[in-house]
Structure 1
Amino acid sequence: MTTPEPGDPAPRPPGTPAPPEPAAVVQAEARLPTDDERRLHPWSWLFVLLASVRQLIVPLGALVVFGGRSEDSWQLIGAGVVVAMLALASIWRYFTYRYRIDGDSLLVRSGVFERSLRQVPFSRIHNVALHQTLLHRVFGVAEVKLESAGGTRPEAQMRVLKLADALALERVIRHRGHAATDAAPEVSPSTAGDGETLLSLGMGEIVRLGLISNRGMVVVAAAFALAWQVFPERRMLGLFRDFWRDAFGYVGQFNGGWLATAASVALFVLLVLALIRAFSVVLAIVRYHGFRLSQHGRRLTVERGLLTRVRASVPRRRIQAWTLRESVLHRAFGRRSLDIDTATSQVDPNQEKPLQELAPVATPAACDALVNHVLRDAAWPPAGWSPLHRRAWMRLLLGDIVFGVAAIAVATWHFGSWGLLALLWLPWAWLVARGHAARAGYAIDGRLVAVREGWWSRRWRFAELDKVQALELRRSPLDRHFGMASVWVDTAGAGAMSGALRIRHLPLDEARRLHARIAGEVARRPLRW
């Protein structure tokens, strides 16, 4: 039995006739009849083959490159044999893979030599992800992943289904998964189709997102690192030396002196930054084109992508924690970003979850309204924030100085007296520490526990109390010296970038009281996944 969320319809009493199913669900079940085993799309073997070849692209490429000579033709033959075997395995997988809908579960029959029958209850499916690359769209198909909390792989992965069948399966899971909890139907006739749109991004917002983000810089840095590994180090240094000499030689022809040289360097830096931002805008358009966040009953669905279309959905109750981000560029454009943590399986912990960015970019008012819409009966933002320890800025500054002194020593040893210029970093560190300590704080009420931090780049992180899984009181040596402590609140689904909800640098007695209060609140209510 799943605990109903505040504001959801009351459970249906036993013996009460079930309400009529929405027309969209009836059509979906008519397209995917129950008790009938179905195969994947006839071209599914091709996509399985391409996925297998993609994993072996490096060794196969090496065989092709180094097997071009006649005396090494056996290497090319070996590569052909490998591809042929993969093709046969993919075709055999198509003939041995079956699925059918059985009541409130999905039955998947698969296996080449070792046959297996896997039963996946709809009520345990947390995320339904539809993935469409450009090739998928050409064939009119989609890859479907069904994920649950925990685990190292999806509960079921279908490569591939016809797009209409994939959407029909998503509707059936959405409806029957909620019906299995004995609660009211998740989908109403008004929301059974495209759902209620909560947020959509036009081209103007996507361009703003590209200007705000640093994705272009990440790609440029990766390309530079790859070039440095591929080309000899001397050649790379020679290219930079020749470019620098030619550029400044051209500027020196105008006899402008050091002022013209400084202006040229500044212009060159601005040009590079402009190109990086332009690249970020292009990446944002490719990734977020047609972004739409919609609600289907108690399930949130995100669709996005220009070349590769991604459609992912998750029940509201599966959201474990929320993160609001606001960088300097966010504030310049009057925008914020809203991310969520969900407890879903993931093969690669470094891989981005299908539904993580609830609002890649939106106004602060839109982000707050979205939080209050999904977290019904919650008050966001909190009415008041409790401050940190009065000497928290000293604790922050001292922690930065420990690493700063080491960096200054290394710079001085490497660059001589010029390395002392790194001392100019200390006033900035003092300013950041004072600003962070003055603005940071925490808030807790009967529904949420929240923390805000940062001054230059700001972040708000919060979670429902009944989603808390672990609680910890921490004290480092510096914390003990200043009479401070930190409270770490952990939830399921926290990624490497988000981490635990940390309320740091509180007075020791206050940290103990907060720890006891949260522990008491959590003990009185069941854990909701």
Structure 2
Amino acid sequence: MKKKRYHPLLILFRIGDFVKSYFILFIILFIVNAGSRSPVLTYGRYLFLLFFAIVMVYHFLKWYTHKYALDERSFHLYKGIFNKTERTIPFSKIQNINRHTSFFHRIFHVTSVSFETGISGDEAAVLFQVITRKEAEKIIDIVQNDKRKTFELDAEEKERVVHFKPTRKDTLKASFTSLSPLAVIPVFFSFYSNVDDIVDIDKTAKGMLSYIIGSWWIVSGIVLFVAIVAVVFGMARTFLKYGKYEISSDEERIYITKGVIEETSFFIEKHKVQAVEVEQSLLKRLLGLAEVKLTSAGRLDFEGEKLELNSLYPFLPVKRAYEIINEILPDYEVAQEMRQLPKKSLWVRLFAPSWIWIIATVVLYFWKPEIFGLRVPWWLLSAFLFVSILVARWIGYLHTKYVLNDRFIQLQSGIFTTSLFLSKREKVIEVRVSRNFFQKWLGLASIETINRAKPIQFNGVKDVPAEFAWMFYKWYMGRGKEVKVE
């Protein structure tokens, strides 16, 4: 078992992170105030350069002393500049493998890989921030197969089935559904702030503003130009984020890849999928789209940044979303028919006290706010809020559905954004049944399931019939016959 140092480009990668973190401070000290003789700025420059030199030496020593090794069953990590430590992580503890290729990695033809374990904390993953693609493939191959020595990429690709690749129409829908065109707004304000530091825009614009407002065709042209820029910017942003998206699978794993400039790839073993969630916002329901998410027992982030890789694709056509679930997870059965809550559940929801409305009414009574310069009676605003809460509860009642289907439970809830949750009985680690005074009086109850994830995932439905809650509890008790020790 031979110890290896990490890739030498790791030093440059970490120094790059330092530069990004302190770039604004560098601009202030060495560019904006380059000619200043202020003692604070002068000593600040010296301290910055000293700090930078220390960081460079630290990262060099860290790279020189930190090593890794692999045998047929485990990672062996050696850390510490002065105090040496050694960690051994068996391959059996690896739950997910994330692969990310940023613009930096593309330039130098390298990549980064994170082997996620089921534990929590800072050492929950074996991380290779910079590694050659060949070495990454070799290590992934060893982890997945233990005794195989070559990475048979072509053979593996032939065994995969591609389930989804977005078309241009899908990308166009995604750009509007994700509200990406609105992302141009913070870019505009950032540009405005930077320019205003150099030129007094407010003073300069006073004379131009009256001229522009007085010309309808100039106003129309500006509105049209801004709209075109927003749409183009949104489409470009969506394409860069979701371009080259692909969902594929083989008999054991589900693979997701995405990104044009920065590539990210991820796979999850099918037997480690704890649950499936289909989510629809109001806009997605209008466009017939849905997002399918997979709940995994391992972490789904990379270097502290959640990459949303538990999502198969955020903008799938609804029909195709359910088809893909059946294709990649044939053991999961999505029930088309679900039970609606009884009418008495609606009355419980409508007459339950609303602390938001009570507190808001008290604030409105003393504050008496003005809207667009008009003083609106406080009781009118309180009544509007009260009606809005009742309407929201009514919509929530209509969207709430549930069903037990042999070994599966399927729950749906939500108001403006609906979420359909599907899980196997063997994947549910705990259930809860609770009843308050009004629920007991009307023969209702609340049920809740708990699944392994990070963080732990809770899903439930309130105000189901008490008979169903008892059936739900008996259904869960049959779990003992199905649970397999992993």
TM superposition shift of 1:292: 1.1
Amino acid at match of 2:105: H
Cα 1:347–1:196 shift into 2, 3 Å: closer
Amino acid at match of 1:417: V
Cα 1:439–1:118 shift into 2, 3 Å: same
TM superposition shift of 1:346: 6.8
1:123 is paired with a residue of what secondary structure?
A: helix
- Where does residue 339 of structure 2 map in the other structure? 386
TM superposition shift of 1:103: 0.7
Alpha-carbon displacement from aligned partner over 1:51-96 (angstroms, at most 9, x marks no partner):
3444555666666589753323221111111111111122222222
1:344 is paired with a residue of what secondary structure?
A: coil
- C-alpha distance in 2 between matches for 1:528 and 1:365: 35
- C-alpha distance in 1 between matches for 2:344 and 2:377: 33
Cα RMSD between the aligned structures? 4.3
- C-alpha distance in 2 between matches for 1:274 and 1:428: 35
- C-alpha distance in 2 between matches for 1:159 and 1:301: 21
- Where does residue 466 of structure 1 map in the other structure? 426
Q: Show the 5 A alignment for 1:266-345.
A: 279-345=233-299
1:417 to 376, 383, 399: 376
- C-alpha distance in 2 between matches for 1:478 and 1:275: 55
Residues 147, 344 of structure 1: 8 Å contact kept:
yes
Cα 1:527–1:276 shift into 2, 3 Å: farther
- Where does residue 139 of structure 2 map in the other structure? 169
Amino acid at match of 2:80: G
Alpha-carbon displacement from aligned partner over 1:475-518 (angstroms, at most 9, x marks no partner):
4566556553211111122659xx5111222123432332x224
- C-alpha distance in 1 between matches for 2:422 and 2:322: 13
Amino acid at match of 1:507: P
Please say which of residues 370-379 and 61-70 is displaced more in the overlay: 61-70
- Where does residue 210 of structure 1 map in the other structure? 175
- Where does residue 101 of structure 1 map in the other structure? 70
Bigger share in strand: 2
Residues 443, 466 of structure 2: 8 Å contact kept:
yes
Q: Show the 5 A alignment for 1:96-245.
A: 96-153=65-122, 154-176=124-146, 190-192=155-157, 195-217=160-182, 220=185
Cα 1:489–1:271 shift into 2, 3 Å: farther
- Where does residue 7 of structure 1 map in the other structure? none
- Taking structure 1 as the reference length, what is the TM-score of the superposition? 0.74
TM superposition shift of 1:39: 3.0
- Where does residue 38 of structure 1 map in the other structure? 4
- Where does residue 519 of structure 1 map in the other structure? 476
Unaligned runs of 5+ in 1: 1-34, 180-185, 255-263
Residues 487, 502 of structure 1: 8 Å contact kept:
yes
Q: Show the 5 A alignment for 1:403-442.
A: 403-404=356-357, 406-407=359-360, 410=363, 413-415=368-370, 416-417=375-376, 420=380, 423=383, 430-442=390-402
Residues 39, 99 of structure 1: 8 Å contact kept:
yes
- C-alpha distance in 2 between matches for 1:457 and 1:158: 38
Alpha-carbon displacement from aligned partner over 1:3-30 (angstroms, at most 9, x marks no partner):
xxxxxxxxxxxxxxxxxxxxxxxxxxxx
Amino acid at match of 2:483: P
1:46 is paired with a residue of what secondary structure?
A: helix
- Where does residue 367 of structure 1 map in the other structure? 321
- C-alpha distance in 2 between matches for 1:520 and 1:65: 69
TM superposition shift of 1:140: 0.7
- Taking structure 2 as the reference length, what is the TM-score of the superposition? 0.80
- C-alpha distance in 1 between matches for 2:43 and 2:77: 40
Cα 1:350–1:109 shift into 2, 3 Å: closer
TM superposition shift of 1:465: 1.5
Unaligned runs of 5+ in 2: none
TM superposition shift of 1:389: 3.2
Cα 1:247–1:439 shift into 2, 3 Å: farther
Cα 1:351–1:138 shift into 2, 3 Å: closer
- C-alpha distance in 1 between matches for 2:56 and 2:303: 29
Please say which of residues 331-340 and 474-483 is displaced more in the overlay: 474-483
Cα 1:351–1:398 shift into 2, 3 Å: farther
Residues 160, 248 of structure 2: 8 Å contact kept:
yes
Amino acid at match of 1:199: F
Q: Show the 5 A alignment for 1:4-83.
A: 35-55=1-21, 68=34, 69-70=36-37, 71=39, 72-83=41-52
- C-alpha distance in 2 between matches for 1:51 and 1:435: 47
TM superposition shift of 1:435: 4.2
- C-alpha distance in 2 between matches for 1:187 and 1:432: 54
What is the identity percentage for the equivalent residue pairs of Structure 1 and Structure 2?
15
Please say which of residues 472-481 and 140-149 is displaced more in the overlay: 472-481
Flag the structure with more relative contact order, 1 or 2, with Cα contacts below 8 A and sequence separation at least 6: 1
- C-alpha distance in 2 between matches for 1:196 and 1:309: 20
